[in-house]
Amino acid sequence: MSYTPAEPKIVWDRPGPFQGVTLEREIDGQVYAERIPHNGLVSQALAARLLGVSLMTVNNWARAGKIHHIKVTGQPSAIPLAEVKKFRKLITDARRDWRGAWKDFK
């Protein structure tokens, strides 16, 4: 029998300069929470999940220099949570006004 971990529930803290995010998972009836502070780092995969875009999109943004990422030799790159929050705001605004908001992206 294989074990498939449940998708985490993403809970953003109250808005503000110190806003972090909490990932909650339920495994065998127990709820486990992992908190990422406002100055924490997240993987590209987690950044994609937090932003609601594909991993390839985040990877393309990092390669194009649109999103700041930290690359350590031999390790996958990490993205500061502050960058994720900035892009989350851009994406939210773009979804509200989809015709002209993406011009700020370039």
Return the DSSP state at 6. P
The enclosing domain of 72 has a CATH number of 3.10.260
Residue 25: domain span: 9-97
- How many domains does one find in the chain? 1
What is the pTM assigned to this prediction? 0.74
pLDDT reading at 28 higher than 70:
yes
For residue 17 the two structure tokens come to: 């300069």
In the prediction, which pLDDT does 60 show?
Answer: 92
Q: What's the pLDDT tens digit per position in 54-102?
A: 999 999 999 999 999 998 788 778 999 989 988 888 887 776 665 554 5
* Whole-angstrom distance, CA of residue 31 vs CA of residue 24: 7
The residue with greater pLDDT, 4 or 38, is 38
What does pLDDT average to over the chain? Answer: 82
| Band of pLDDT at residue 20, cut at 50, 70 and 90 | confident
Mean pLDDT over residues 19-37, rounded?
86
What is the dihedral angle through the alpha carbons of 47, 53, 57, 58, rounded to the nearest 10 degrees? -10
- Asked if the structure places residue 2 within a domain, the reply is no
Residue 14's pLDDT is 85
Phi, psi of 16 (to 5 degrees): 150, 180
DSSP label at residue 70: B
CA-wise closest residue to 50 among 30, 78, 23: 23
Q: How far is CA 44 from CA 2, 3, 8, 29, 73, in A?
A: 26, 24, 16, 29, 16
Residue 18 maps to a domain: yes
